Structure 1
Amino acid sequence: MGKILVFIFDGMTDYQITFITHLLGTDAGKKIISISYEDKMIKGRSGLLYKPERLVKEVLNENVEGLIIGGGCYGDTKPEMIQLINKLKFEKKLLGAICGAGTVFLAKAGVLNDVKYTTPIVKWAQEQMEVYGERDPFPRENLIEGRVIRDRNVITAQGTAFIDFGIEICDWFDLFENEEDRDNFTKDIKGL
């Protein structure tokens, strides 16, 4: 059973990650491991409470298949998170990030410097400076307008594209038999 890390933090936009964690945990048989910086209850933007299973610093040497980071307004990028992201990049494991916080983590780790990506933060304004820091970490020359962008092992998405994000991650793990299977699943989930 493969393991997938999911970083959780206060104020995370939890609906952006619950769909994909459900698919990976039930349909794909992956073990979902929630991680955080501290062993404390996390309150998502929905008001639901989450308890991290492990700390980021405890999983640095763990053999995992990937990391998923949801969105929200959260700018605490600690060295252990940068280390984890870069380790998984080097190992060519999945790095999935959605919305603001998710894509900022990858940008601050330097992962987006050599891949195409998307983010809802198209301009580094005062609001971003206050939450994430003064310097814009995004390599703007690699920014692509799109709901979901997959470049090698990095999948980034706009916050409203959580279903597309989930489907792209499922595709990364070869959960569809073929393109028709993927299209049928997409139609079923989206009600098309």
Structure 2
Amino acid sequence: MKDQIRSFILPGGNIAEIDTREVKACLQALMKREILIAGICAGVDVLDHAGILCDVKSTHFSDADLVTDKNVITARANAYVDFAVEVAKKLNLFASEADLQETINFWKHYQRVQ
């Protein structure tokens, strides 16, 4: 089953339930296999606690809202749309450049219907 994992995404919020020895061991194993690992908001803390951010640029060590380095994506909470788009790009989920641009334009010009 581990061979089928393409990515591991850590959410933000209360990380107490996921900041465990087992999750850290899993993250370290995935990092060795160069699997895409992504964390947003407090999920970045779990990556840091697991040692994933050693020698990896991240939002913990910069003022950027989104940082991609090697196979790791980190984002601040306010960059949730950019985070989602970046993860989708890395997983090759867009059918084409036009599909990517359509998604970006939707969110860039999105206005909620009242």
Give the alignment's TM-score, normalised by structure 2. Answer: 0.83
Name the SS for the 1:97 alignment partner.
Answer: strand
Does residue 1:113 correspond to 2:54, yes or no? yes
Q: Could you tell me which amino acid in structure 2 is paired with residue 97 of structure 1?
A: G
Give how far 1:181 is off: 4.1
Distance 2:14 2:91 in 1: 28
2:2 — aligned with what? 62
- Which has more helix, going by share of residues? 2
Does residue 1:160 correspond to 2:101, yes or no? no
1:143-182 superposed matches below 5 A? 143-176=61-94, 177-178=96-97, 181-182=99-100
Q: Superposition RMSD on alpha carbons, in Å?
A: 1.8
Give how far 1:167 is off: 0.1
1:1-192 superposed matches below 5 A? 62-63=2-3, 64-75=5-16, 77-100=19-42, 102-119=43-60, 143-176=61-94, 177-178=96-97, 181-191=99-109
Give the alignment's TM-score, normalised by structure 1. Answer: 0.51
Q: Could you tell me which amino acid in structure 1 is paired with residue 16 of structure 2?
A: G
Distance 1:78 1:156 in 2: 19
Q: Could you tell me which amino acid in structure 2 is paired with residue 118 of structure 1?
A: T
Q: Could you tell me which amino acid in structure 2 is paired with residue 95 of structure 1?
A: I
Distance 1:72 1:175 in 2: 26
Q: Could you tell me which amino acid in structure 1 is paired with residue 67 of structure 2?
A: I
Give how far 1:66 is off: 1.2
Deviates more, 1:180-189 or 1:84-93: 180-189
Name the SS for the 1:183 alignment partner.
Answer: helix
Task: List alignment gaps of at least 5 residues for structure 2.
Answer: none
Q: Identity, % of aligned pairs?
A: 29
Distance 2:88 2:14 in 1: 26
Following superposition, which runs of at least 4 residues in structure 1 exceed 3 angstroms of deviation?
Answer: none
Matched positions, count: 107
